[in-house]
């Protein structure tokens, strides 16, 4: 999927259907005098239903269709005939989509399973026909209820990518290169910062036909939680990842310092990020000889509080060990 086709934020306005009016019909038939009321009920208005679809990866289909309406309920008729229900309007969204009220910014619901449904706006109830109102003192009611109008609501849909492992790092540290090396994904790769402008997903094939999903988001810089760079907009895509893979290049001025900056940005954005399991991949390790690697290992053992590995996506160094470590972390109790 090209970057321009990835849409993870959209606002829509939805209107459910009006309920149908009840009927005030009086029964008329040959040889039957004063047949009495027999007006039927109106049908309910159509619902606006949000439905999860595992085959969707973006909200692109809603980008140019912002106003959606459900069908109106039919009116009641004679012989206690109920009007038809209005046609429901289904809005299919990718898994990981969060629904918010656009006016209050309050989270209403989250779609996380395929086929999961949520009624975002209920259709109006149909009015009751006049046969409901007959009594011993009012045997010929000539009135019925009108249907209830549908509901209008403005919704904000935000997609938070569902992945097992999220890649976290500065721009141009090799996140996209790693994704391309161990998955079938083909992200844009170039030797300049902010090459990645949209999240990319890839499926990592593991042993015995097992697999897990990896997500690459645009690079994070210091101050991203306040909106610097472009990382702030996409930080929500790693909120659902169970494991975070921090990627720091071997030639960084301070690997531990860069890790602290990244962790601090995640904490400022959402403190719950610190509850996720974490591991560090030292990228571009093909530049290190054995002596430099030994010195760096001694230094990192003192400074880093979490596990780390040396990898090189270009030479495939350490990628098998990385997949083993990630699979173990994903399956720990």
Q: Which residues are annotated as a binding site for Mg(2+)?
A: 176, 196
Q: Residue 218 phi/psi, 5° resolution?
A: -55, 150
3-state SS of the chain is CCHHHCCCEEEEEEECCCCCCCCCCECCECCECCCCECCCCCCCCCCEEEEECCCCCCCHHHCCCCEEECCCCCCCECCCECCCCCCCEEEEECCCEEEEECCCCCEEEEECCCCCEEEEECCCCCCCCHHHHCCCCCCCCCCCCCCCCCCEEEEEEEECCCCCEEEEECCCCCHHHHHHHHCCCCCCCCCCCCCCCCCEEEEEECHHHCEEEEEECCCCCCCHHHCCCCHHHHHHHHCCCCEEEEEEECCCCCHHHHHHHHHHHHHHHCHHHHHCEEEEEEECHHHCCHHHHHHHHHHHHHHCCCCEEECECCCCECHHHHHHHHHHHHCCC
- Structural contact between residues 218 and 234, judged by C-beta atoms closer than 8 angstroms: yes
Which residues make up each annotated binding site for GTP?
169-176, 194-198, 216-219, 283-286, 312-314
Which residues make up each annotated binding site?
169-176, 194-198, 216-219, 283-286, 312-314
**Alpha-carbon distance values, 44 to 21, 128, 130, 190 (Å):** 9, 11, 17, 56
Residue 320: CB partners within 8 Å, gap ≥ 6? none
Per-residue burial over 106-115, b = 16 or more CB atoms within 10 Å of its CB, e = otherwise: eeeebbeeee
């Amino acid at each position: 999927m090209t970057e321009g086709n990835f849409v993870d934020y959209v606002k829509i306005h939805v209107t459910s259907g009006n309920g149908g009016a009840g009927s005030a019909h009086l029964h008329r038939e040959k040889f039957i005098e004063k047949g009495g009321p027999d007006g039927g009920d109106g049908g309910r208005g159509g619902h606006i239903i949000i439905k999860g679809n595992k085959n969707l990866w973006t909200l692109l289909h809603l980008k140019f269709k912002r106003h959606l309406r459900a069908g109106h309920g039919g009116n009641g008729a004679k012989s206690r005939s109920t009007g038809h229900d209005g046609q429901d309007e289904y809005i299919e969204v990718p898994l990981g989509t969060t629904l918010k009220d656009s006016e209050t910014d309050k989270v209403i619901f989250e779609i996380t399973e395929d086929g999961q449904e949520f009624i975002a706006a209920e259709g109006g109830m149909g009015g009751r026909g006049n046969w409901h109102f007959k009594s011993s003192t009012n045997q010929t009611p000539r009135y019925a209820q009108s249907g209830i109008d549908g509901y209008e609501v403005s919704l904000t849909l935000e997609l938070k990518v569902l992945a097992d492992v999220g890649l976290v790092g500065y721009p141009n540290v090799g996140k996209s290169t790693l994704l391309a090396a161990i998955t079938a994904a083909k992200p844009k790769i170039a030797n300049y910062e902010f090459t990645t402008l949209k999240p990319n997903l890839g499926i990592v094939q593991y042993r015995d036909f097992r697999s897990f999903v990896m997500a690459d988001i645009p690079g994070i810089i210091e101050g991203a939680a306040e909106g610097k760079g472009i990382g702030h907009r996409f930080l929500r895509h790693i909120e659902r990842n169970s494991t975070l893979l921090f990627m720091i290049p071997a030639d960084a001025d301070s690997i531990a310092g860069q890790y602290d900056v990244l962790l601090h940005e995640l904490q400022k954005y959402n403190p719950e990020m610190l509850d996720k399991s974490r591991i560090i991949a030292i990228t571009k390790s093909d530049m290190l000889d054995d002596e430099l690697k030994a010195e760096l290992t001694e230094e990192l053992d003192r400074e880093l509080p979490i596990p780390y590995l040396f990898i090189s996506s270009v030479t495939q160094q350490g990628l098998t060990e990385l997949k083993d470590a990630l699979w173990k972390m994903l399956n720990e109790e």
